[in-house]
Amino acid sequence: MKLNVISLALAATAFGAMAANAQTTIIQEERRAPAVVIETPSSSVTTRTEERGGLLGTEKKTTTETTGSGVTGDCSTRTVQKEGLTGSKTVTRTDCP
């Protein structure tokens, strides 16, 4: 009788240990950078102004200003074009921080 009780206790202990090992689960999660990066285009604003002057309106000055351009959207460009009887001249200035 003692042998049956000891065998039963030993079997219950072994079965309990196996059941405990079967319930152990390890979950590993890896986070990686996305494969595709979609950049939204920056919205730029362009303003164009034309002025006439000089004798009988023979001189023309065109100013074009663009803000929000460039890779980061922080650049601004200003182009001034002057036309007259003696010729034309274009000056462009770009400011990017």
10 Å CB burial of residue 54 (0-12, 13-18, 19+) is: exposed
Residue 36 CA: distances (Å) to CA of 32, 62, 73: 12, 42, 21
The pLDDT value recorded for residue 14 is 67
The pLDDT value recorded for residue 86 is 86
pLDDT tens-digit map of 45-69: 899 999 988 777 789 999 999 888 7
**pLDDT at 75 exceeding the cut of 90:** no
Answer for the pair 47, 64: CB distance below 8 angstroms, yes or no: yes
Structure tokens at 35: 């494969």
Average pLDDT, the chain: 80
Helix (H) or strand (E) holding 9: helix 2-22
